[in-house]
Structure 1
């Protein structure tokens, strides 16, 4: 018996160990998740504690869902930061709000005294102002009938479970460049209520890159050229900015490339995580949805600008402020790298403005903000594509092309967790925005079916 036990132990020691977080790490992630969402929802979204519990902390990522409601949050409304203690109060996580940049999560081990070290490059909070309603010349009343009974029915269905059993819609906005056709919000939401975009942020990030291309700061076909990859033996130096935009870096991003918990919840740095992974396959040969590819694309821009203050101001001066996205917060890590794979808080109107910019081929009030061929570029299928059954992929935008015959072939979409959608349909001169708090593990909102029904209703 003893001999067999020895053999079993020896075999178990030789078996490959599975990567799995310790309970202490999971606890730190959970506290970080709660600190960040409490901070952002409070100071970006002006939400109450009951709203935060209902919307931001319910129906969420299973790793943190069970433990999160056992932790208490302390909100300093004067200095605008949040503390969440964990491990029986022995440890704490902090998230600190800043004008324009929203909340930044401090690393594990940071203390309350470290809050004063947080970089705050902006002083004005433009989100405190009411939304002007520009550029739309006509605006249907908020939460009012559109005058189109078929469209009103479709919108009503969007606020039920009609388009998904786990769907919880918070906003619908349908617009052309000249008119807001429909605009409806859940109770206690307004046109100024910011909500996290999740991966819709990736398409915002691509637009920031587009503005940099227009200004000749970067080129899509250039090598990424990151300092961490500069050794002559490093094969990652062959990764191009375009590979990153196409989700085709070839880098190892674990089985699920959308799981970047250390950056999203752990207070980790983009430069400590996204730049450190090794190649799995040759760049450009495989499509794999990976948050790191988006973060790395913005890291390429940062190293091309090579000045932190200039870099942090660039998205606002070159894109957001030019088109009136004044209620948008681009959150960063604590060394000022944008986490534009997910951590953006914005309103439905601001997302619609971004859509209108693309309908206008990058022109806003006579200024060419994005390259004139940028819409064509992001809408062109990348060489490596997602598996059939999913939408196609361009440059940080999803493509509803011949794979989905019920929608116009030129439909592109920014898509995010919990049912965040921005669809741009150039042939219809139309933008469709849906925001939500869909429940993890349940059938989410079908943006395809909803948009199909919207188009049918508009033609009646």
Structure 2
């Protein structure tokens, strides 16, 4: 019996040592997947607490844990509102995710833990809209009393699972809107890849100033000694740079590594080699849009002026007072993915594109620039993608690329789309003088089709 007791004690000691070793490994050298998960949890909670004013526990449960990777269900977060930081980790310990809030500039993931390098100065706010004036001049809404529109907005199947906001704009006025419980017209919501189209518009303001040109090549010094020197601004805009980039969000890929493990996102994306012929191969890439952000910021030259540029030249004139573009840990706008704005402000931006880059009679984007954005990207052989970081309506009323292929929706041929992860869309139908914003938390596995709601609305308005 003594021998058995000794064996049990030795076995227990070995188990304790193994657990301690495992814990030490996870703490000091956590695998990339755990670091991505903790970085993601910290970032999403940070933005929703400090930008959207939501409860941290609710965001963790609803936005991070419920729809995501099973690993995310084991994440815990701690919020320090005084310091403006959020820390996250597996069981609250492993992975050491960190995000920091900036005054007027949302939150930043800090994968290297260097808070001093990641902090920004305050970014000036855009002027607030006049709440007493009708949208879009202000935020007052006199919705349509048309029963057909109301019935469509109240149809859960058409609005889709996880919907948080729907805004319908016809002839330049909001004619209907709906918000899920806990959300309102004042809640800033994440657009994910709809941010890409905003980045294209920001570039348009610099093209109009003569500071950028879409045909310019030799964009980065590090590219000038190889084939990447041939990449033009237009190639990046049309997702046809030829640069290697894996956009799969399943595990640790280029896109998740860039967003959650790299303090310098543009440096990471810009360091990728060519994987295809420049201008000839379509490859959807958030990395190329972050590169576009770095390029336009460099074109402004002064870092402080670059941080203020979106609000001074785009958001301010449009009255998008809630719009916040977030930056990486080295001050580059994460223009591929991270813009928060209220549904009213996303609708303003959609209306701005419908009006060809003109607002209140003032031309903000160059003549013909929005039309160029809507031209089919030459290399986009699979589905329809525009030259300017947006999606075009597919043939026969089918869905744009990035969603499950389908046909049979009765939609105008000139419809184009801003689209983002988890069901974010702004549909713009110029011939119907219609903009429809739909925001929510709707994973692609649910196969929701925003085209059905758009088609129903167009039918009700005829």
The question of a shared fold, defined as TM-score above 0.5 by the shorter chain, is answered with yes
Alignment partner, residue 118 of structure 2: 118
**Counterpart for residue 405 of structure 2:** none
Deviation at 1:86, TM superposition (A): 4.2
Determine the C-alpha separation between the residues in 1 that align with 2:273 and 2:419.
Answer: 27
Aligned mates of 2:254, 2:442 — CA distance in 1: 18
Q: Are the aligned partners of 2:152 and 2:158 in contact in 1 as well (CA < 8 Å)?
A: no
Distance 1:374 1:192 in 2: 31
TM-score, normalization by structure 2: 0.84
Query: Aligned pair 1:205/2:199, yes or no?
Result: yes
**Equivalences for residues 369-384 of structure 1 within 5 A:** 369-384=364-379
Tell me: CA distance 1:88–1:196, structure 2 relative to 1, closer, same or farther (3 Å): closer
What displacement does 1:134 show? 4.1
After superposition, the C-alpha distances for 1:168-196 in whole angstroms (9 at most, x for unaligned) are 11111011353111111111211110111
Q: 1:121 to 1:368 in 2, by over 3 A?
A: farther
- 2:436: which partner in 1? 432
Equivalence for 1:17: none
Query: What's the offset of the Cα at 1:24?
Result: 1.6
Secondary structure, counterpart of 2:107 in structure 1:
strand
Are the aligned partners of 2:30 and 2:95 in contact in 1 as well (CA < 8 Å)? no
Cα gap change, 1:201/1:131 in structure 2, threshold over 3 Å: closer, same or farther? farther
Mapped partners of 2:309, 2:178: distance in 1: 32
Q: Residues 9-408 of structure 1: matches in 2 within 5 Å?
A: 24-61=31-68, 65-86=69-90, 89=93, 92-108=96-112, 110=113, 114-122=114-122, 124-125=124-125, 134-136=135-137, 140-141=141-142, 146-157=144-155, 160-162=156-158, 167-176=161-170, 178-223=172-217, 225-231=219-225, 234-254=226-246, 256=248, 260-387=255-382, 390-400=383-393, 402-404=395-397, 406-408=410-412
Q: CA deviation at 1:99?
A: 2.2
Give the structure, 1 or 2, with the largest relative contact order (CA under 8 Å, sep 6 or more). 1
Q: Deviations over 1:66-125 (max 9, x none)?
A: 2223232111122321112448736522111112210011123x1xxx434433232555
Residues 402-427 of structure 1: CA deviation (Å, up to 9, x unaligned): 44272111111100111100111111
Deviation at 1:217, TM superposition (A): 1.1
Post-superposition Cα deviations, 1:414-451, rounded to whole Å, max 9, x if no partner, equal 001111001111112211100010135322x3111111
Q: CA RMSD in A?
A: 2.5
Kept in 2, the 8 Å contact 1:161–1:168? The answer is: no
* Gap change, CA 1:440 and 1:453, over 3 Å in 2: closer
- Name the CA distance, whole Å, in 1 between partners of 2:374 and 2:419: 14
Supply the distance in 2 between the matched residues of 1:88 and 1:47 (Cα, whole angstroms): 20
The question of whether the paired residues in 2 share the 8 Å contact of 1:130 and 1:192 is answered with no
User: What is the distance in 2 between the residues matched to 1:155 and 1:259?
Assistant: 38
CA deviation vs aligned residue, 1:221-263 (integer Å, no higher than 9, x gap): 11151122122xx110100000011111111113749951122
Residue matched to 1:441: 445
**Structure 1's 456 and 278: CA in aligned 2 closer, same or farther, altered over 3 A?**
same
Alignment gaps of 5+ in structure 1: 1-21
- Per-residue CA deviation, residues 148-187 of structure 1 (Å, 9 max, x unaligned), is 2221121112xx24565xx311111011353111111111
Aligned position for 2:453: 450
Indicate the SS of the match to 2:88: strand
Other-structure match for 2:3: none
Label 1:126 to 1:305 Cα distance change in 2 as closer, same or farther (>3 A).
Answer: closer
Whole-angstrom CA distance in 2 between matches of 1:201 and 1:25? 26
Once residues 205 and 215 of structure 1 are traced to their aligned partners in structure 2, the CA distance between those partners, rounded to angstroms, is 16
Change (3 A) 1:427 1:91: closer
Does the 8 Å contact 1:224/1:241 carry over to 2? Answer: no
Counterpart check, 1:416 vs 2:420: yes
What secondary structure sits across from 2:261 in the alignment?
A: coil
C-alpha separation between the residues in 1 aligned to 2:79 and 2:261? 19
In structure 1, what is the Cα distance between the partners aligned to 2:266 and 2:171? 38
Question: Counterpart of 1:73 in 2: which secondary structure?
Answer: strand
Three-state SS of the structure 2 residue aligned to 1:393 is coil
Q: Which moved more, 1:131-140 or 1:348-357?
A: 131-140
Residue by residue over 1:295-353, the C-alpha shift from the partner in whole angstroms, topping out at 9 and shown as x without a partner, is 12222212323332222221111111111111111011111111111111111111111
Report if the CA contact (8 A) 1:140-1:146 is conserved. no
Residue deviations 1:368-393 (CA, integer Å, cap 9, x gap): 11112122111111111242xx4443
